[in-house]
C-alpha cells in the first residue's frame, strides 16, 4: 500500500510544468507560514501573554482577522509624500520583498522538494538576505521625512553590525558539515554520529550551541524585532523607515518582515536542527520498505514547518518579553560580544575538526 | 544589440543561444546603468544605478558558471560596500532632487581615460578569446574546486592580498584613533 502510493507520486514533469509548480509553491512557502505565525503568535500568543483575548470577531476564534487586515490595507489610498523621490519611494518595498523571495529559493523541504539546489546554498541565502537593507535605506531616504531617514540610517547601521555575527555563526556549521550546500548540511546531520552512536543523527545544535545562540540573536536583530527595534522605535521615530508608507506598500513591508522571520527560522532549522530529516531510528521504523526518499518529500515539509514553528515561537517570545536596547548598547553587543564569541567558536570548531 | 545577436548565427543549439542572449542582456543593463550613473544629477540615484551595474556583473558571473564569485559579488558589493556607501552618502549629503554642483571641469580628461581603458580592455579580451563563444552546456564550478585552487595554485597572491587587507585595516585604526 505505502510503496504503491509513494511510487505513484514519482511522475515525470516537463521543465515548464515544474517551473510553474515551483513558482506557485514559492508563494505558498513564503505567505502561508507568514500568515500562520502572524495569527498564531503576533495576534493570539501575545494576547494571552498580556491576559487578553486578541481578535475574536472575524471568523471562528478570530482566525480570519488576517484576511480582514489585508483587505483593509489593500483598499487604503496609496499615498506618496509631496517631496518624496517618486520612483525610489515606490520601488523600495519591492526590493525588500525580493530579498524575502530569493531567500526561500535555497531552503530544502525534502530530498527533492527544493526550489534550487545551489552548490553555494547557505552562502547564497546570507548574500541575498543583505539586499533588504538596500530597500530599507531606499525607503528611509526617499520618504523626504526626518523620521524615515533616521530610521533608515539606524537600520543600516544595525544590519551591518549584525550581518557579521550571522555569517560567522554559520561558518562553524559549514566547517562541521564540510559543505555550503543546504542538502549537504541536512544529510551531514542525518547521517552523522555522536561518538559512534547514530540513532538520532548529529543535529548541529548539540555541537554548535554557541553558533545557534549567535545565529538566533543576529536573526532577531536582522529582523529588527523588539529588543533590537531601534530603527522603528515607535516612541521616538513614529515608525522609522515605514513612517510615510500606507496601504498596500506598508503591507508589503509587513509581509517582508514577518515572512523573512519564518524563512530565517527555516534556515536555522536546516543549519542546527537537521532540516527536513527525522531521527534515523524513527525513519528506520517507519520506512523499512525503502521508500524513504519518496516519503520524505511529503513528510519533510511538515517536519520543516514544525521546526519553523518552534523557532519562530522563540523569536516572538523574546520579542514580547524584553525591553528595547539603546543604540550604543546595541552596537556594543554586536561588535564587542557577539563577533569575538563567533570568532572563538570558529577557531574551536576548526581545531576540533582537525583533531577529531 | 540585435545586430550583434544576428551575427551570432553560427550558434548551433538553444543552450548557446540562451547563454549568449543572457550575456548581451546583462551587458546592456550594465552599460545603461553605468551611463545613467555618471549622468544623473543626484548622488543617491548614482549609488542606486551603481547597484544595478554591480548586479548585472553578478549576473554575468552566473552565466560564466562562476557561482561562488557571483554570490560573493552580491554579498560583498551589494550587501556590504554599497550599503556602507549609501549609509555614508545619506549621513552627509543626501538632498532629494537634482544638484547643480555635481559636475566637474575635468570631465573630458576623465572621459579620455575611460576611453583609453575601454580600448585596452577590449583589445586584450579580443586577443585572448577572439571568436570563442559561451558553450551552452556548462556545468557551474563547484565551491570545492574554487577553494582547492585558492589554497594550492593561488596561495601566494591570496596571502599577499590578505596582508594588503590587514595593512588597510591597521591603517584605518591608526587614522581613526583620537590620541
Q: Are A244 and A81 in contact (CB under 8 A)?
A: yes
Q: Residue A98 half-sphere exposure, CB side, CA atoms within 13 Å? A: 14
Helix, strand, or coil here: B60? helix
Residues A194-222, mean pLDDT to the nearest whole number: 83
User: What is the pTM assigned to this prediction?
Assistant: 0.84
Within-domain flag for B161: no
Tell me: pLDDT of A204 over 90.
Answer: no
Residues A202-228, mean pLDDT to the nearest whole number: 85
Q: What is the DSSP string of A148-181?
A: HHHHHHHHHHHHHHHHHHHHHHHHHHHHHHT-S-
Average pLDDT over all residues of chain A: 83
pLDDT of residue B53: 92
Within-domain flag for B153: no
pLDDT of residue A113: 76
Within-domain flag for B10: yes
| For A127, nearest residue in chain B (alpha carbons) | B75
pLDDT of residue B2: 44
Q: Which three cell numbers stand for residue A119?
A: 552548490
Q: Please give the Cα distance from A45 to A41 (Å, whole number).
A: 5
pLDDT of residue B94: 67
Tell me: pLDDT of A256 over 80.
Answer: yes
Minimum distance, in Å, between the CA of residue B37 and any CA atom of chain A: 15
Tell me: pLDDT of B167 over 90.
Answer: yes
Burial of A15 (0-12, 13-18, 19+ CB in 10 A): exposed
Within-domain flag for B174: no
A94 Cβ under 8 Å from any chain B Cβ: no
Which of A88, A123, A179 is opposite residue B48, by nearest beta carbon?
Answer: A88
A46 Cβ under 8 Å from any chain B Cβ: no
Beta-carbon contacts of residue B127 (< 8 Å; ≥ 6 apart): none
Other CB atoms within 10 A of residue B58 CB: 21
A84 Cβ under 8 Å from any chain B Cβ: yes
Within-domain flag for B173: no
The answer to whether B45 contacts A88, with C-beta atoms less than 8 Å apart, is yes
The answer to whether B68 contacts A123, with C-beta atoms less than 8 Å apart, is yes
Of residues A194 and A36, more confidently modeled: A36
Over pLDDT 70: what percentage of chain A? 96
Which of A83, A119, A133 is opposite residue B67, by nearest beta carbon?
Answer: A119
Question: Which residue range is the domain that position B109 belongs to?
Answer: 2-141
Which of A128, A142, A153 is opposite residue B87, by nearest beta carbon?
Answer: A153
The answer to whether A153 contacts B142, with C-beta atoms less than 8 Å apart, is no
**Structural domains in chain B (count):** 1
Minimum distance, in Å, between the CA of residue A127 and any CA atom of chain B: 4
Within-domain flag for B74: yes
Tell me: pLDDT of A4 over 50.
Answer: no
| For A167, nearest residue in chain B (alpha carbons) | B75
Q: Residue A350 half-sphere exposure, CB side, CA atoms within 13 Å? A: 10
pLDDT of residue A286: 75
The answer to whether A119 contacts B142, with C-beta atoms less than 8 Å apart, is yes
> Best-predicted range by mean pLDDT among A127-131, A155-159, A239-243?
A127-131
What does the pLDDT look like over A282-304, one tens digit per residue? 777 777 666 777 777 788 888 88
Helix, strand, or coil here: A194? strand
Within-domain flag for B156: no
Tell me: pLDDT of B4 over 80.
Answer: no
Q: Residues of B with CB below 8 A from A240's CB?
A: none
What does the pLDDT look like over A70-124, one tens digit per residue? 888 888 888 888 877 788 888 888 998 899 888 888 888 888 778 888 888 888 8
Within-domain flag for B59: yes
Phi, psi of A100 (to 5 degrees): -60, -45
Which CATH number characterizes residue B55's domain? 1.20.120.1200
Minimum distance, in Å, between the CA of residue B138 and any CA atom of chain A: 15
Q: What share of chain A is helix, strand, coil (3-state, %, to 5)?
A: 70, 0, 25
Q: Residues of A with CB below 8 A from B140's CB?
A: 119
The answer to whether B72 contacts A127, with C-beta atoms less than 8 Å apart, is yes
Q: Which three cell numbers stand for residue B165?
A: 587587507
B45 Cβ under 8 Å from any chain A Cβ: yes
Which of B75, B91, B96 is opposite residue A144, by nearest beta carbon?
Answer: B96
B68 Cβ under 8 Å from any chain A Cβ: yes
Give A2's pLDDT tier (boundaries 50, 70, 90): very low
Residues A179-187, mean pLDDT to the nearest whole number: 86
Q: Please give the Cα distance from A5 to A9 (Å, whole number).
A: 7
Residues B53-72, mean pLDDT to the nearest whole number: 86
Amino acid at each position: 500500500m505505502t510503496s504503491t502510493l509513494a511510487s505513484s507520486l514519482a511522475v515525470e514533469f516537463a521543465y515548464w510544468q515544474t517551473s510553474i509548480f515551483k513558482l506557485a509553491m514559492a508563494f505558498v512557502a513564503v505567505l502561508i507560514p507568514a500568515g500562520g505565525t502572524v495569527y498564531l503568535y503576533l495576534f493570539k500568543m501575545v494576547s494571552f501573554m498580556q491576559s487578553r483575548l486578541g481578535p475574536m470577531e472575524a471568523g471562528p476564534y478570530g482566525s480570519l482577522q488576517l484576511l480582514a487586515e489585508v483587505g483593509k490595507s489593500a483598499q487604503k489610498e496609496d499615498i506618496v509624500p509631496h517631496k518624496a523621490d517618486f520612483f525610489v519611494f515606490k520601488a523600495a518595498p519591492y526590493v525588500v520583498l525580493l530579498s524575502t523571495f530569493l531567500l526561500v529559493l535555497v531552503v530544502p523541504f525534502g530530498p527533492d522538494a527544493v526550489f534550487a539546489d545551489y552548490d553555494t546554498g547557505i552562502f547564497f541565502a546570507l548574500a541575498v538576505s543583505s539586499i533588504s537593507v538596500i530597500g530599507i535605506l531606499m525607503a528611509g531616504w526617499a520618504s523626504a521625512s526626518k523620521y524615515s531617514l533616521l530610521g533608515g540610517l539606524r537600520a543600516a547601521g544595525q544590519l551591518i553590525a549584525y550581518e557579521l555575527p550571522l555569517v560567522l555563526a554559520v561558518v562553524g556549521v559549514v566547517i562541521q558539515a564540510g559543505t555550503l550546500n543546504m542538502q549537504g548540511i541536512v544529510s551531514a546531520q542525518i547521517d552523522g554520529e555522536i561518538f559512534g552512536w547514530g540513532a538520532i543523527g548529529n543535529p548541529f545544535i548539540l555541537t554548535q550551541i554557541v553558533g545557534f545562540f549567535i545565529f538566533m540573536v543576529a536573526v532577531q536583530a536582522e529582523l529588527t524585532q523588539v529588543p533590537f527595534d531601534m530603527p522603528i522605535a515607535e516612541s521616538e521615530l513614529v515608525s522609522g523607515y515605514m513612517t510615510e508608507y500606507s496601504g498596500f506598500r506598508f503591507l508589503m513591508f509587513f509581509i517582508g518582515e514577518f515572512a523573512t522571520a519564518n524563512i530565517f527560522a527555516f534556515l536555522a532549522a536546516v543549519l542546527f536542527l537537521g532540516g527536513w530529516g527525522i531521527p534515523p531510528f524513527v525513519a528506520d521504523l517507519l520506512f523499512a520498505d525503502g521508500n524513504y526518499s519518496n516519503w520524505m518529500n511529503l513528510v519533510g515539509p511538515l517536519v520543516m514547518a514544525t521546526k519553523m514553528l518552534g523557532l519562530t515561537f522563540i523569536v516572538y517570545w523574546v520579542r514580547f518579553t524584553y525591553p528595547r536596547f539603546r543604540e550604543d548598547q546595541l552596537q556594543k553587543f554586536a561588535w564587542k560580544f557577539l563577533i569575538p564569541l563567533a570568532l572563538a567558536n570558529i577557531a574551536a570548531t576548526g581545531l576540533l575538526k582537525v583533531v577529531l | 544589440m540585435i545586430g550583434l545577436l544576428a551575427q551570432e548565427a553560427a550558434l548551433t543549439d538553444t543552450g548557446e543561444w540562451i547563454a549568449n542572449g543572457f550575456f548581451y542582456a546583462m551587458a546592456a543593463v550594465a552599460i545603461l546603468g553605468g551611463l545613467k550613473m555618471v549622468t544623473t544629477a543626484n548622488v543617491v540615484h548614482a549609488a542606486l544605478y551603481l547597484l544595478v551595474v554591480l548586479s548585472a556583473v553578478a549576473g554575468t558571473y552566473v552565466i560564466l558558471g562562476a557561482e561562488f564569485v557571483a554570490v560573493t559579488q552580491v554579498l560583498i558589493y551589494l550587501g556590504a560596500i554599497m550599503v556602507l556607501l549609501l549609509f555614508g552618502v545619506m549621513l552627509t549629503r543626501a538632498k532629494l532632487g537634482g544638484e547643480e554642483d555635481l559636475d566637474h571641469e575635468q570631465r573630458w580628461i576623465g572621459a579620455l581615460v575611460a576611453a583609453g581603458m575601454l580600448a585596452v580592455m577590449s583589445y586584450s579580451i579580443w586577443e585572448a578569446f577572439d571568436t570563442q563563444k559561451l558553450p551552452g552546456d556548462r556545468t557551474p564550478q563547484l565551491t570545492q574546486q574554487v577553494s582547492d585552487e585558492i589554497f594550492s595554485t593561488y596561495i601566494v597572491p591570496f596571502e599577499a592580498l590578505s596582508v594588503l587587507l590587514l595593512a588597510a585595516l591597521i591603517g584605518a585604526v591608526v587614522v581613526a584613533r583620537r590620541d
